[in-house]
């Protein structure tokens, strides 16, 4: 991949109002789409009771409910590859808009579904189908969004653009958590089981459709428009070219996705449950601390993107990895003997997880424009499907060996992050490849 800029590339131009509009609409859509994807897990208990037979054992009902949730992750690679294929051939904007439409409609339909008591076994089958469509949508949304904002942004602000989009995605997780807490506080258990469980899905679907409308105002990326003008689009199946010609970029992106998934899955998603089951914290206290950690993560993502633009990805990875290693180790080590420090240390760890905000910039720059969407989507979704699925299992096995198991797992990935950063620092990270 050439690291040179084309002579017409606006290397030094600042962020314009149009750029900020593009970033804002993209981040807003990403937040609402991620809310739609994860809201299911916050209502898994009540959904399980309504969509499976009443006589089914609780453990089996819970297993099948989370199996439906997991189906969304399993559908990510296929959906991402298909949408990326057309994104490289037909345009970034079309797939960017299609992904949020494919998320909003199933979410809205989930809020309208008949339950098992009304239509029997068709209820869980319909829920599973909608969840698979959601998974395909999120598989195209995340890499597609990174490519979209990176190709719109000035060269020197690609890190900020990608990290702002990532911050929008993490805001979607927080929005889901806040919505779940609000609905559980506002309605009784009977009202929740009767009809109130539908509200977060209907709300998410409605907001998603609004985002579809708002994305109509976005423009195709200048990079893809130049590819079309020069007739430089991929002459063959984009994924075939990626696998044959860009294996180092695929490997780098998959390793970085492993680091990214470890920070999110372990520290943000798994830890609230571990705080309650292993260390005896009340659910309300654990969720409040988790909310602060997500706020820290959102801020940290933006700071990491700014740092990557200013100092380079290599130094940002090294410093971010060291900070995450220190903060996560201190957090997990404090839970046994210094419970009063849980809240501030969890918030600090969340802030340092934000160092992953610099990762998308490197992955976007690793592939040439003609196959960028396909290369990033294939690497990210395949790695996330594998690592996102294995991480809870590996952490659980480590917990049987030591209560500091999560710290050891995150620490190992921090070392990988630091070593990767050192390599990038030594050779210099590439510029975003131009269209030609």
Residues 354, 259: contact at Cβ < 8 Å? Answer: no
Q: What is the pLDDT of residue 209?
A: 86
**Euclidean distance between CA atoms 282 and 279, whole angstroms:** 9
Kindly list the structural domains of the chain, giving each domain's residue range(s) and its CATH number in brackets, ordered by start: 15-233 (1.20.1250.20), 237-436 (1.20.1250.20)
Residue 279 φ then ψ, to 5°: -120, 0
Neighbours of 229 (CB within 10 A): 10
Q: What is the DSSP letter of 432?
A: P
The tens place of each residue's pLDDT in the chain, 436 residues long, gives 333 333 334 445 677 777 787 788 778 877 887 888 778 877 877 888 888 887 777 767 767 777 777 777 778 777 777 777 676 677 667 776 787 888 889 999 999 999 988 998 899 999 999 988 888 888 777 888 888 888 878 888 889 989 998 998 888 888 888 888 888 888 888 888 899 999 999 998 998 888 888 777 777 666 666 655 554 454 456 677 777 778 899 999 999 999 998 898 889 878 887 887 788 887 778 878 888 999 999 999 999 999 999 999 999 999 999 999 999 999 999 988 788 888 999 999 999 999 999 999 999 988 887 788 888 888 988 888 888 767 877 888 888 888 888 899 999 999 999 999 999 888 765 555 544 4
Q: What separation, in Å, do the N-terminal and C-terminal C-alpha atoms of the chain show?
A: 11
**Euclidean distance between CA atoms 162 and 294, whole angstroms:** 18
Q: What is the pLDDT of residue 13?
A: 66
Q: What is the pLDDT of residue 332?
A: 93
Task: Calculate the CA 407 to chain-centre distance.
Answer: 21
Q: What is the pLDDT of residue 67?
A: 76
- Give this prediction's pTM: 0.80
Q: What is the pLDDT of residue 253?
A: 92
């Amino acid at each position: 991949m050439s690291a040179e800029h084309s002579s017409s590339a606006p290397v030094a131009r600042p962020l314009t109002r149009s750029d900020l509009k593009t970033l804002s609409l993209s981040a807003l859509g990403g937040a609402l789409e991620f809310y739609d994807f994860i809201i299911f897990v916050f209502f898994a208990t009540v959904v399980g009771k309504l969509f499976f037979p009443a006589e089914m054992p609780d453990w089996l009902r819970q297993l099948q409910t989370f199996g439906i949730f997991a189906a969304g992750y399993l559908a990510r690679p296929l959906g991402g590859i298909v949408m990326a294929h057309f994104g490289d051939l037909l345009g970034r904007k079309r797939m960017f808009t299609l992904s949020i439409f494919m998320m909003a409609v199933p979410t809205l339909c989930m809020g309208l579904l008949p339950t098992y008591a009304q239509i029997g076994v068709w209820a869980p089958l319909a829920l599973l189908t909608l969840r698979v469509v959601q998974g395909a949508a999120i598989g195209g949304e995340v890499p597609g969004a990174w490519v979209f904002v990176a190709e719109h942004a000035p060269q020197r602000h690609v890190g900020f653009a990608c990290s702002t989009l990532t911050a929008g995605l993490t805001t979607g997780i927080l929005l889901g958590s806040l919505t779940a807490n609000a609905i559980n506080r506002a309605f009784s258990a009977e009202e929740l089981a009767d009809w109130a469980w539908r509200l977060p899905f209907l709300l998410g679907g409605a907001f998603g459709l609004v985002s579809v409308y708002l994305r109509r105002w976005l423009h195709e990326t200048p990079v893809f428009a130049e590819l079309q003008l020069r007739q430089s689009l991929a002459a063959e199946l984009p994924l075939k070219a990626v696998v044959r010609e860009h294996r180092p970029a695929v490997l780098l992106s998959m390793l970085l996705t492993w680091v990214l998934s470890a920070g999110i899955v372990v520290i943000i998603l798994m830890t609230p449950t571990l705080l309650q089951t292993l260390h005896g914290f009340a659910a309300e206290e654990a969720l409040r601390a988790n909310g602060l950690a997500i706020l820290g993560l959102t801020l940290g993502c933006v700071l990491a993107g700014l740092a990557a633009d200013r100092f380079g990805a290599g130094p940002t990875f090294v410093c971010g990895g060291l900070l995450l290693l220190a903060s996560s180790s201190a957090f997990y080590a404090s839970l046994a003997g210094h419970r009063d420090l849980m809240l501030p240390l969890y918030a600090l760890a969340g802030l340092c997880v934000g160092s992953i905000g610099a990762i998308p910039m490197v992955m976007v720059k690793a592939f040439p424009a003609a196959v960028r969407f396909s290369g990033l989507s294939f690497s990210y979704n395949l790695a996330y499907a594998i690592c996102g699925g294995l991480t809870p299992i590996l952490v659980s096995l480590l917990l049987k060996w030591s209560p500091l198991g999560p710290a050891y797992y995150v620490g190992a990935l921090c070392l990988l992050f630091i070593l990767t950063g050192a390599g990038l620092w030594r050779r210099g990270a590439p510029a975003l490849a131009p269209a030609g």
